[in-house]
Amino acid sequence: MKHKPDDRRDNVERIQQHIDDTIQNIEAAEEMITATDNPRTRSDLEKKNQRREKALDSMRQEIRDEALDRQKD
């Protein structure tokens, strides 16, 4: 069984797509938060958005690292 070689050429684009998707999810959840009357649903969505914001910070750092690595090559 052959292992797939590590191809990192599209990492910046892939990470950027994840960032865009996460931002869209945050915006959708914000709309749901304002539309719901259920306090538990609101709380769950707010907590999920907090986790998404932390993930965004990590993804942004990762994209910076990948971009710097690209410049080295």
Q: DSSP secondary structure string, 16-36?
A: HHHHHHHHHHHHHHHHHHHH-
Q: What is the pLDDT of residues 22-71, one digit of tens each?
A: 999 999 999 999 999 999 999 999 999 999 999 999 999 999 998 888 77
Can you state the angle between helices 11-35 and 39-72, rounded to 10 degrees?
160
Q: What is the pLDDT of residue 11?
A: 86
Q: What is the pLDDT of residue 69?
A: 82
Please report whether residue 31 resides in a domain: yes
Q: What is the pLDDT of residue 61?
A: 96
**Who wins on pLDDT, 4 or 66?**
66
Please report whether residue 54 resides in a domain: yes
Domain of residue 40: give its range: 23-72
- DSSP of the chain: -PPPP---TTHHHHHHHHHHHHHHHHHHHHHHHHH---HHHHHHHHHHHHHHHHHHHHHHHHHHHHHHHHHH-
Alpha-carbon 38 to chain mean position: 26
Please report whether residue 16 resides in a domain: no
pTM over 0.85, yes/no: no
Q: What is the pLDDT of residue 73?
A: 65
Please report whether residue 17 resides in a domain: no
